[in-house]
Amino acid sequence: MRLQGKVALITGGAAGIGKATVRKFVEQGAVVHFCDLDRAAGKKTAEELGCKFAAVDVSDRAAVQDWVDKIVEETGRIDILVNNAGVLRDGMLVKVKEGELVKQMSEADFDSVINVNLKGVFNCTQAVAPVMIRQQGGAVISATSVVGLDGNFGQTNYVASKAGVVGLTKVWARELGRYNIRVNAVAPGSILTDMLESMPEKVLDNLKSHQPLGRFGLPEEVANVYLFLASDEASFVSGAVLRVDGGLVVGT
């Protein structure tokens, strides 16, 4: 019971890596509150795992603050924040055929990914930080990605958002360390979620061929790293970005 009695907030917890993390934290004794935009899946996960769910858009600062305030009113503290929520809107910066521009990433697609993946991390951490400062301790873990470190073709918006999370992690580790708040990030590679499984078989086969371990990762394997970083076992780990990618180097 490595998180016994600790209050944990997890964003994007209704499915995939988020749901695996909710399950893992509940099993390890945490009092878990999670949010997601998918109300049906969120309610089902909460009932299944015995935790609290709220429908919250992490890109909405006021909604995030209201969620955090209600949890603090109920529990009196927040020990762990896992910034896991994220979206994809892939596309090339520009697509040219025979010298003519035929398509480009829309401003709406760029903004929507930045708003959830980057601004959402800012919103949630800023709302939770004063609580952790008052109690002189806490752990913040955010989801970046291997593509935030290595770049990837056709993912201008996603890469920008995930690279930004790496930067925020480094800054906050320095700013919040004096209050005994640890700030780290996890960079998953190809993880077997519904999002990955929806890709064409040809694309999946190509992805798998570049995996040194010969397989995709499992959501639980990312959740295990979140658990380590949230636990007292990582008491001297801060400002780190841990890759959970099976040795993958994007683009090779």
Which of the residues 25, 158, 216, 226 is marked catalytic? 158
pLDDT tens digits along 190-236: 999 887 777 778 878 888 888 899 899 999 999 999 999 999 999 99
Judge whether residue 27 has pLDDT over 60.
yes
Residue 70 inside a domain? The answer is yes
Residue 64: which CATH number? 3.40.50.720
Dist CA 184 CA 230 (whole Å): 9
CA neighbor of 95 nearest in space, from 82, 83, 111, 106: 106
> Mean pLDDT over all residues of the chain?
95
Dist CA 127 CA 67 (whole Å): 9
For residue 101, what is the DSSP state? E
Residue 12 inside a domain? The answer is yes
**In the block, which residue shows the tokens 């990582």?**
234
Identity (one letter) of the amino acid at 122?
Answer: F
Question: Band of the pLDDT at 46, cuts 50, 70, 90?
Answer: very high
**What's the total number of domains in the chain?**
1
Residue 210 inside a domain? The answer is no
Cα Dmax for the chain? 62
158: annotated active-site residue: yes
Residue 203 inside a domain? The answer is no
Q: What is the pTM of this model?
A: 0.95
SS3 for 119? helix
Domain hosting 24: range is: 7-190+219-244
